[in-house]
Structure 1
Amino acid sequence: MDFWATIRVLVRRWYVAVPVFLVALGLAGGVYASVDTQYESTGTIVLTSPAAGARAGAGPSPEKINPLLAFDGSLTTSAEILIQSLQDPATVKQFEHVDGVKTTYEVGNGQLSGPFVVVVADAAAPQAAEKTVAAVLDLARKQLADRQQALQAPQSTYISADQVINPTPAEAKIGGKVRYAAVALALGLVAGLTAAYGFESFQQHRKRKPRKEKPRERPQEQEQEPSWPEEGDEDLSEELTKLIAPVSGTAEPRRRRDRH
């Protein structure tokens, strides 16, 4: 069915489509109001190599090397190690709730070329989102230092994590609410079209269906009651009696004669 045919059906069955559309609008508004607003904050650090280089020591004593700087692209690799460590489910679980507010975060390189660690946190409260970003970045610095200490790297060769972007002020994200409301509205519109088309089809089917004529009932024959002579007919009956009586009287003697 083309566009104009659809419009004609909706106009013809407006009393079916309009209530469904109003319910759809109410449903979309309810969904938009019921979904909590999420706030997002972002922070970034970059790994830098020490000024003294990867080696430490001078003189006859052997040089000590930081193992994390002993290969090409070591800073980028170290950043990837930190990202994978921060994505560990056990680590993520530590930040499920901050200040009593449910929070989530994602960590990656932000599609940047280089040893960057980017943290993006979402929470139902702006302060919780900002606090989560700061806490995850602090954990990244701690894990980097602990890893180098475990490798017994000279402290002068430690890789450092410098702040590039401090946790940004949390901004409200309404995209999720709008998407949920749009889905509810779309479903309501589909329901309205379905209701209008269904009612139209039902009415067309009723028009095409032949109506069965009811059999005509034959009028019941009324039982006629015997009519009795009315009061005005008494004179006529008396005269008939007088005429019949002589005839019957003459008949009896004839019968007697015949017997003899």
Structure 2
Amino acid sequence: MDVWTLLRTTLRRWYVFVPVLVVALALGYTAARDLPPVYVTQSSAILTGPALIPGDEEGEIDEINPFLSLGGSLTTTTAAMVVLMDSEPTRYELDEAGLETEYEVDRVDAVLYFDVEGLDEVAVTETANELVRIADVKLAELQEAADSDPDTRIQVVPLTSPQVALEGSTGGVQLIAVAGVVGLVLGSGLAVALDGFLTWRRRRAEEATLASESVSAVGWSPADERDPVEGDPVEGGQVEGGQVEGGQVGGDVVELPEAPTWAAAEEPRDEDAPATEPDATERARHVAPESPEATDATHDQADAEPSEHDHLASSGRRTTEHG
């Protein structure tokens, strides 16, 4: 995703991005307001050349203005002092003295600047002044190690010595800025996530609609797949007695086998006769149809046994003959 797409998506879902950003800024402002004050101060020093230089004659020493020798080697020496004062041994020395170790060292030509910050106002002020003194001591040690004449050594002269430290506001501003960046990233991420989810759901709905339209165009429906044997309607046909006449399912003709000839037809029931509970034999016949052989045997037995009507008719004839 490129920057332009991300920007458009975020603006489209602004109702997600804006509240998250506002909440993040509010939390950052609340936290910054509760922060303890941070004190800052600055001290500066300048490197100067020697006030005495060798004269033209042997053993002669001339006095000069040290500021006339600014530039050249002093600028190079100042750059070396920045590295020396910003080192870990110097910070460790300050920490051993109970002073602040949070400071920055900068330079402009032959001028050194020490920016100190901390939670203790007194410690911040003392640290700024101590850095100028330490710089002069370390520079003297460097020149002594080079066996230079003490009268020709470069010195560190204080320019500004702070007496009080000011309450800084950079900590709170930085905290609010960090909260704003976090809210910006989080709001953009949530906006993009919501946009992706809504796009996916809309695509699913469109696919479902297209599928439904395709099914309607083909003419298929779940009712077309019902079993025609159970009497369910079949498209294009009619169900009668468990058979389908001219029925079609999905465009195919459905042909079912005819009912077996040995299946017993159900006898008509007298509407006025009281309803009786079928006996076990009747229930068994409904559960499992009899075989053709059993049906023929039943018919033969019925033909062999005289019915009650035949007995009555025979008795009547005998009574008439005797009379």
TM-score normalised over the length of structure 2: 0.51
1:2 and 1:146 mapped to 2: Cα distance?
59
Instruction: Determine the C-alpha separation between the residues in 2 that align with 1:186 and 1:98.
Output: 43
2:136 maps to 141
Contact 1:24–1:188 at 8 Å: present in 2 too?
no
Write the deviation string for residues 116-145 of structure 1: whole angstroms up to 9, x where unpaired. 122122324443333222121110111233
1:121 aligns with 2:121: no
In 2: Cα distance, 1:54 partner to 1:47 partner: 16
Counterpart Cα distance in 2 of 1:228 and 1:124:
110
Q: Offset of 1:209 from its aligned partner?
A: 3.6
How far, CA to CA, are the matches of 2:159 and 2:312 in structure 1?
Answer: 153
Question: Contact conserved, 2:6 with 2:192, CA < 8 A, in 1?
Answer: no
Amino acid at match of 2:80: I
The answer (yes or no) to whether the contact 2:9–2:192 under 8 Å persists in 1 is no
Aligned partner of 2:43 in structure 1 is: 43
In structure 1, C-alpha distance between the alignment counterparts of 2:73 and 2:17, rounded to whole Å? 65
In structure 2, the partner of 1:132 is 127
Q: How does 1:174-189 map to 2 (within 5 A)?
A: 174=171, 175-189=173-187
> Tell me, what secondary structure is at the counterpart of 1:95?
helix
CA gap of 1:59–1:185, structure 2 versus 1, over 3 A, is same
C-alpha change, 1:17 and 1:88, in structure 2 (3 Å) is: closer
The offset of 1:157, in angstroms, is 3.6
Structure 1 segment 218-229 matched on structure 2, within 5 A: 229=273
The answer as to whether partners of 1:40 and 1:120 remain within 8 angstroms in 2 is: yes
Q: Which amino acid aligns with 2:116?
A: A
Q: CA deviation at 1:44?
A: 0.8
Q: Does the 8 Å contact 1:95/1:104 carry over to 2?
A: no
Looking at structure 1, the residues matched to 311 and 123 of structure 2 have their Cα atoms a distance apart, in angstroms, of: 134
Give, as a single letter, the amino acid of the residue that structure 2 aligns with 1:229.
A
The answer to whether the 8 Å contact 2:116/2:124 transfers is: yes
Question: Within 5 Å, which residues of 2 pair with 1:203-222?
Answer: 203-210=201-208
Q: Which residue of 2 aligns with 1:164?
A: 159
C-alpha distance in 2, partners of 1:50/1:36?
Answer: 45
Over 3 Å counting, the alpha-carbon distance change for 1:22 and 1:73 in structure 2 is closer
Asked whether the 8 Å contact 1:23–1:188 carries over to 2, the reply is: no
1:36 and 1:124 in contact (8 A); partners too:
yes
Q: Is the 8 A contact 1:43 1:118 kept in 2?
A: yes
Give the direction of change, closer, same or farther, for the CA distance of 1:25–1:105 in structure 2 (3 Å limit).
closer
Residue identity (%) = 21
Task: Give the residue type in structure 1 aligned to 2:181.
Answer: V
- Cα gap change, 1:2 to 1:55, in 2 (>3 Å): closer
**CA 1:33–1:186: 2 relative to 1, 3 Å:** farther
Q: CA deviation at 1:41?
A: 1.9
Contact 2:140-2:153 within 8 A present in 1 as well: yes
Counting matched residue pairs gives 224
Unaligned runs of 5+ in 2: 63-68, 213-220, 232-268, 276-306, 318-323
Equivalent-residue separation in structure 2 for 1:107 and 1:171 (angstroms): 20
Q: Is the 8 A contact 2:25 2:180 kept in 1?
A: no
